[in-house]
A and B are shown apart, each in its own frame.
Chain A
Amino acid sequence: MRARPIRRNIYLPVVRFGVADSDWFTVLLISCAGYLAPVPFGITVLYVPLQMWTWLLATAGSIAFFNYIRIGRKPCWLQHKLKALFFHHRQHRAIPNGRKRAFTRSWILNNEAAHGWLRSDPQSARSSSTLILLDHNSRIQEAIEERWNESLLMTN
């Protein structure tokens, strides 16, 4: 077989101090925020203005944070973690008489005007439903007799 080249490293992040190039802007923002936030208070700690400490801490902290979420983690680890944190692990089924509104809004705007579906004769609608039901039942019966339903295979 012909060998097809795979260049798996072409989009690997360029990393400095363990922080990907795309994350450095965030580090910069955090550092700036860390520096500017205490400025109005004019506090000094150990003869050094507080903003110098906070700047240092914010920079080191953000670098450590980006190292933590990247090294040894799968891609998008933080996003998935946060999503799991904020969203319930259970996605319950749609309940017909549930408190939440059912998905009943049509995604076609001029549906009624175009088809007059709702304005059709209720009796005839009922009879056509019965026909559909009969048709459906006979199809199910046939499927059971055949014992195998191709589409079941494709449902994974």
Chain B
Amino acid sequence: MERVLAYDELTDERDLRRHAVALVRPSGRRRDSSIVGIYRDALRHKDGALTVAYQVETPATMFADDALVDIRYDDLARMLAFDKPSGTLVQFRYSTTPDPGQAITNVITSRALAGTHTLASLLQASNLDYLRGTAKSLPYRRSVLTMWIRVPPKKRGNPTISALADFGDAFRQEMTERGILSTLRDLAQIYSRTADDSVVRRTLEAEQQAYNHANRVWRLFENSSPLTLRRFTRQEIWEAVFYGHCQNSNSSPILSDRPGRDLRDFLCGETVEGELNYLMHGEYPVTIVSMFIPPNEFVTADALRSLIGRRDFNLRHTIVTEYLFPEQRKETKRLDRRIKQVKRTFTRKDNPEGAAALRSLRAVREEVAGARESLLPTRFYVLLYGERARNLSELKQSVEVLDEQCERVVSAIRQIPGANADREEPEALRALFATAIAGELSPGLTGRELTEVANSAVALTPTEDSWQGATRPHTLLSTATGRLVGIDLFDRNQIPSPLIQIIAAPRGGKSILMAQFACDILASLSDASVNAIDIGETLLPLATVLGGRYIRPRPDEVRAINIWSYPELKDGEMPDDVQKALVVGDLKMLARLRDDDKTAEDIISAVVAQVYENIVSQNGPGRPLFEPVLSHFIAQLRTYPFDAEIVRERRETLVLALNNYIGHPWLDAPTHPDYEEKSPFDVFELGSLRDFPNDIKLSLAYRIAAYVARSIGRRRADGTRAPTANLFDEMWEIKDEYPFIFKVLQHAGRKGPKENSITILATHAFEDIEDVASLSKTGNVIFVGKQLGDFSKIVEHAKLSANGATAISHIKTAPGRFSQFVMVIGTGPDQVVELVQHELSPLMLWTLTTNADERNARSLVSAYHPDWSETQVHAWLAQHYPRGLTAVGLREIDETLLAVAA
């Protein structure tokens, strides 16, 4: 046992006392803040200045027309240029944080609580999990743009005089309450209580006046801003400032309602220290990269896209642009002085630098003449935060990443022609960081100012971002700029059109994207149903995995689809005009009528109406279903009392044409009971129709399309319309072989929005669907994949800008990894154009792949393990070949692995 001497105990006690003293008197100086409180919704600074913050809506205009962006920046420049109190400071903070997958959470939370497809949900979950894993290795980004406006006090008070007045008041009050002796004894304490701490103190009335004065300036900004602004509430600005000052905090203190409460103790709750090229703010290393040399000669409004659109800038950072508004009269005088000075210094010696400087000065002077423009000292810097570091090892790692990110930022700024940026040196960082924190904006000059007219300096403001995505998404795509966005094709606010076109060259990923939509719709929406027209068995594996119906008409397996039947028939309800039109269309096709044969069409229409009138009344609740069929029509046609001779003659030719189909098992029969069963996922394979005679093939294809179109507006038991998606793959083949399906689609396209239904068309080129005016006019959602030939028609139809067209030509597709699409939603000034990327989880990849080698691999595994389900086969392949075969340069799987598995 170790002996403890009294001396040791004394030493321990001394150490303890020393530590206790150090706790209340730590080394260094106390942290201070320029923010002393919050008055209404504004930050109150020590000097009496007031600051408000706005959340700025960032439009997704990276692929929009250049003129649109220029107009926005011109408007923004006008906003900055108008006359304001000198010393007003406008700060834009474009904050980016790594996104571990907020959109994934959105997808999960927006899933319907009941009525979703369980197997589709599982398949979707595998994809979400994959995206979550991807987000961990290379995080996505989320950005928020805020604008902070600091308005200086109207009248600058003298803090020393007010402190002396305070001292006098306190002295008098103390003397009245406690007597002269006691007051004299506590003189030092009274002094320290009232000493000048450089805080301007005002009466409540004066504070109100100052707020009103500042509010007028803020309202001017609000009214003239081209960007949508939303002023932070009192609570929001407090949280924003508090979290900016206290990095380690997870919750903010309750904000007192009492005006005048000094909040500095709360804001300065974390230590800021460091002597190196980074500071420790709480447990986070932080550094600053400043722009020291502005762009050379010219700058364009898209100058910052290299900084805000880069996928690898996913570390937490804030791009800060500050515009200081000096007294313009003084600034102009300074400019004049400078012109004289340069003239005196250089021009006499015919110095080229002097001549160039003089030219620039004269140009600027000309622009500010007549107060048309304002000269704005502008600061541009990037504040970068590292990962949280709780120990030395974490700190080393965090600083390493921070250094790397700094280098990237520097190189990105240097990509702007002529611009140069550098990391702030340790001493400068210590001096500048205090004013870089949210809310601490200061009008004091730092030496980092670039003075230019507003119209030029405004280009250093980041104002755009990727499309925000849907609030209740069912499908996730990532943008090229690294944002994970959710898509909700049923969101009528964002996607008003029910017709979605996916146009991509072969192997462009269009069928897979369509299948992804199908799976996600089933997984997310309650009572959703998907009907698909497939050619080439693309959707067969998905239908098998999801337990859907894969309907492949074969001559030897009769399963008739009766065009005359419709869901309300069993209740004895008369068909609507659309149903009648579908029947007429089918009969016209069977009778081989041309579109301009109006007499025949009128005859058929009249007889169809009569047949329905006769037969519908025989149906009703509790009665067996009695469907009208082709024979009923022909019988009615023969006996229909037409008056005119010419009509009767035409009738005879029609009877003759249709007589051939009487008793045909596919065309003149009630709907097969298989179709009556409810299925959330039906896939009709048109490829197998090639085995039928041509007229039967066409009629069957028409009936299938009509069956799909009829499912639009399917109602639930409570009368609400269930979401329905109709998918049509390989539209180019449909156009060639079954052009009449377009007529059905026209109906679907126009009816969809009211009936909670969408139609997705996938094809190779816009030319495949351009003939059908209705399709191209109502479809304002287009996913354009990789294009092989001329795609000018898509560009023209979607009214894409030159940037949008360029984006199409830069689309990349990496088999097994991703497919890119240019997503176009809407038209006009609020058109959304975004380069999106579709990524698949290994399981989804093996389920949806249409690659020949991978399909062979699927078949091979199935053959080796006939007892395995499709899902097991895909899971085995996903485990061994997570990126498929083509992506890793393989053409077939290693069969020894199969032998091992066996």
How many whole Å from A156's CB to the nearest CB in chain B? 4
How many whole Å from A13's CB to the nearest CB in chain B? 10
Q: Are A7 and B265 in contact (CB under 8 A)?
A: no
From known contacts A3-B299, A7-B360, A84-B431, infer whether A89 and B28 are also in contact, taking CB-CB under 8 Å: yes
Q: Are A107 and B446 in contact (CB under 8 A)?
A: no
Q: Are A92 and B300 in contact (CB under 8 A)?
A: no
Q: A6: which B residues are within 8 A, CB to CB?
A: 294-299, 418, 450, 452, 456
- In the assembled complex, A45 has its CB within 8 A of some CB on chain B: no
Q: Are A94 and B317 in contact (CB under 8 A)?
A: no
Alpha-carbon distance between A153 and B199 when the two chains are bound, in angstroms: 30
Q: B296: which A residues are within 8 A, CB to CB?
A: 6, 8
- In the assembled complex, A101 has its CB within 8 A of some CB on chain B: yes
Q: B338: which A residues are within 8 A, CB to CB?
A: 10-11
Q: How large is the interface on A (under 10, 10 to 19, 20 to 34, 35 or more residues)?
A: 35 or more
User: Restricting to A81-99, which residues have a CB under 8 Å from any CB of B?
Assistant: 81, 83-84, 87-99
Interface string of B198-242 (1 = CB under 8 A from A): 011111100100000000000000000000000000001001101
Interface string of B6-45 (1 = CB under 8 A from A): 0000000000000000011111111110001100000010
Q: Are B455 and A4 in contact (CB under 8 A)?
A: yes
Q: Are A153 and B427 in contact (CB under 8 A)?
A: no
Interface string of B279-322 (1 = CB under 8 A from A): 00000000000001111111111100000000000001110000
Contact of A5 among B265, B297, B316 (CB under 8 A): B297
Alpha-carbon distance between A7 and B338 when the two chains are bound, in angstroms: 14
Q: Are B274 and A89 in contact (CB under 8 A)?
A: yes
Alpha-carbon distance between A9 and B25 when the two chains are bound, in angstroms: 49
From known contacts A1-B70, A151-B243, infer whether A12 and B357 are also in contact, taking CB-CB under 8 Å: yes
Alpha-carbon distance between A66 and B47 when the two chains are bound, in angstroms: 33
Report the nearest A residue to B451, measured CB to CB: A11
Alpha-carbon distance between A98 and B27 when the two chains are bound, in angstroms: 12
Contact of A153 among B144, B335, B446, B455 (CB under 8 A): B144
Q: B268: which A residues are within 8 A, CB to CB?
A: 91, 93-94, 103
Q: Are B95 and A153 in contact (CB under 8 A)?
A: yes
- In the assembled complex, B383 has its CB within 8 A of some CB on chain A: yes
Q: Are A1 and B66 in contact (CB under 8 A)?
A: yes
Q: A105: which B residues are within 8 A, CB to CB?
A: 193-194, 197, 199, 201, 262
Contact of A107 among B201, B425, B458 (CB under 8 A): B201
How many A-B pairs have beta carbons closer than 8 Å: the answer is: 254
Q: Are B360 and A110 in contact (CB under 8 A)?
A: no
Q: Are B342 and A14 in contact (CB under 8 A)?
A: yes
Q: Are B28 and A156 in contact (CB under 8 A)?
A: no
Q: A132: which B residues are within 8 A, CB to CB?
A: 254
- In the assembled complex, A126 has its CB within 8 A of some CB on chain B: no
Alpha-carbon distance between A107 and B47 when the two chains are bound, in angstroms: 11
Contact of B26 among A8, A92, A150 (CB under 8 A): A92
Q: A14: which B residues are within 8 A, CB to CB?
A: 341-342, 345-346
Q: B24: which A residues are within 8 A, CB to CB?
A: 95, 97-99
Report the nearest B residue to A21, measured CB to CB: B341
Alpha-carbon distance between A21 and B422 when the two chains are bound, in angstroms: 26
Report the nearest B residue to A95, measured CB to CB: B24
Q: A83: which B residues are within 8 A, CB to CB?
A: 427, 430-431
- In the assembled complex, B371 has its CB within 8 A of some CB on chain A: no
Q: Are A154 and B93 in contact (CB under 8 A)?
A: yes
Alpha-carbon distance between A79 and B431 when the two chains are bound, in angstroms: 9
User: Restricting to B332-358, which residues have a CB under 8 Å from any CB of A?
Assistant: 335, 338, 341-342, 345-346, 353, 356-357
Q: Are B202 and A140 in contact (CB under 8 A)?
A: no
Q: Are B357 and A155 in contact (CB under 8 A)?
A: no
Q: Are B262 and A106 in contact (CB under 8 A)?
A: yes
Alpha-carbon distance between A51 and B111 when the two chains are bound, in angstroms: 88
Interface string of A1-29 (1 = CB under 8 A from B): 11111111111101000000100000000
Q: A79: which B residues are within 8 A, CB to CB?
A: 431, 447
- In the assembled complex, B260 has its CB within 8 A of some CB on chain A: yes
- In the assembled complex, B395 has its CB within 8 A of some CB on chain A: no
Q: Are A88 and B105 in contact (CB under 8 A)?
A: no
Q: A41: which B residues are within 8 A, CB to CB?
A: none
From known contacts A5-B297, A156-B95, infer whether A92 and B29 are also in contact, taking CB-CB under 8 Å: yes
Q: Are B363 and A7 in contact (CB under 8 A)?
A: yes
Q: Are B37 and A9 in contact (CB under 8 A)?
A: no
**Secondary structure dominating the interface of B:** mixed
Q: Are B259 and A111 in contact (CB under 8 A)?
A: yes
How many whole Å from A134's CB to the nearest CB in chain B? 11
From known contacts A93-B271, A107-B200, infer whether A87 and B29 are also in contact, taking CB-CB under 8 Å: yes
- In the assembled complex, B650 has its CB within 8 A of some CB on chain A: no
- In the assembled complex, B270 has its CB within 8 A of some CB on chain A: yes
Contact of A88 among B27, B142, B297 (CB under 8 A): B27
Q: B300: which A residues are within 8 A, CB to CB?
A: 1-4
Q: Are A80 and B427 in contact (CB under 8 A)?
A: yes
Q: Are A136 and B30 in contact (CB under 8 A)?
A: no
Alpha-carbon distance between A4 and B452 when the two chains are bound, in angstroms: 10
Q: How large is the interface on B (under 10, 10 to 19, 20 to 34, 35 or more residues)?
A: 35 or more
Interface string of B424-468 (1 = CB under 8 A from A): 111110110000001000000011101110011011000000000
Q: B875: which A residues are within 8 A, CB to CB?
A: none
Contact of B272 among A91, A95, A96, A114 (CB under 8 A): A91
Q: Are B459 and A4 in contact (CB under 8 A)?
A: yes
Q: B31: which A residues are within 8 A, CB to CB?
A: 91-94
Q: Are A93 and B270 in contact (CB under 8 A)?
A: yes
Alpha-carbon distance between A108 and B338 when the two chains are bound, in angstroms: 44
- In the assembled complex, B192 has its CB within 8 A of some CB on chain A: yes
Q: B316: which A residues are within 8 A, CB to CB?
A: 156
Q: Are B27 and A94 in contact (CB under 8 A)?
A: no
Q: A156: which B residues are within 8 A, CB to CB?
A: 93, 95-97, 244, 316-318, 383, 385, 438
Q: Are B27 and A90 in contact (CB under 8 A)?
A: yes
- In the assembled complex, A48 has its CB within 8 A of some CB on chain B: no
Report the nearest A residue to B32, measured CB to CB: A91
Contact of B102 among A8, A21, A148 (CB under 8 A): A148
Q: Are A151 and B236 in contact (CB under 8 A)?
A: yes
Q: Are A94 and B203 in contact (CB under 8 A)?
A: no
How many whole Å from B64's CB to the nearest CB in chain A? 11
Alpha-carbon distance between A97 and B102 when the two chains are bound, in angstroms: 41
Alpha-carbon distance between A94 and B253 when the two chains are bound, in angstroms: 15
From known contacts A6-B294, A102-B265, infer whether A148 and B260 are also in contact, taking CB-CB under 8 Å: no
Q: B427: which A residues are within 8 A, CB to CB?
A: 77, 80-81, 83-84
Alpha-carbon distance between A6 and B364 when the two chains are bound, in angstroms: 10
- In the assembled complex, B269 has its CB within 8 A of some CB on chain A: yes
Q: Are A88 and B202 in contact (CB under 8 A)?
A: no
- In the assembled complex, A119 has its CB within 8 A of some CB on chain B: no
Q: A1: which B residues are within 8 A, CB to CB?
A: 66, 69-70, 300-302
- In the assembled complex, A109 has its CB within 8 A of some CB on chain B: yes
Alpha-carbon distance between A5 and B428 when the two chains are bound, in angstroms: 29
Q: Are B450 and A8 in contact (CB under 8 A)?
A: yes
Q: B25: which A residues are within 8 A, CB to CB?
A: 98-99
Report the nearest A residue to B455, measured CB to CB: A4
Alpha-carbon distance between A151 and B252 when the two chains are bound, in angstroms: 11
Seed contacts A8-B418, A110-B204, A154-B144; 10 additional CB < 8 Å A-B pairs? A7-B364, A10-B364, A90-B26, A96-B265, A98-B26, A99-B24, A107-B37, A115-B259, A154-B243, A154-B438
Subset of 19 A-B contacts with CB under 8 Å? A1-B300, A2-B300, A4-B458, A6-B295, A9-B357, A21-B345, A74-B428, A81-B427, A83-B431, A92-B28, A94-B30, A99-B24, A103-B264, A106-B260, A107-B200, A108-B204, A109-B203, A151-B236, A154-B243
Smallest CB-CB A-B distances: 5 pairs = A90-B28, A75-B447, A108-B260, A155-B243, A76-B447
Residues of B that sit less than 8 Å from A by CB: 23-32, 36-37, 44, 53, 55, 66, 69-70, 93, 95-97, 102, 105, 142, 144, 146, 192-194, 197, 199-204, 207, 236, 239-240, 242-244, 247, 251, 254, 258-265, 268-275, 292-302, 316-318, 335, 338, 341-342, 345-346, 353, 356-357, 360-361, 363-364, 383, 385, 418, 422, 424-428, 430-431, 438, 446-448, 450-452, 455-456, 458-459
Residues of A that sit less than 8 Å from B by CB: 1-12, 14, 21, 74-77, 79-81, 83-84, 87-111, 114-115, 117, 132-133, 136, 140, 147-148, 150-156
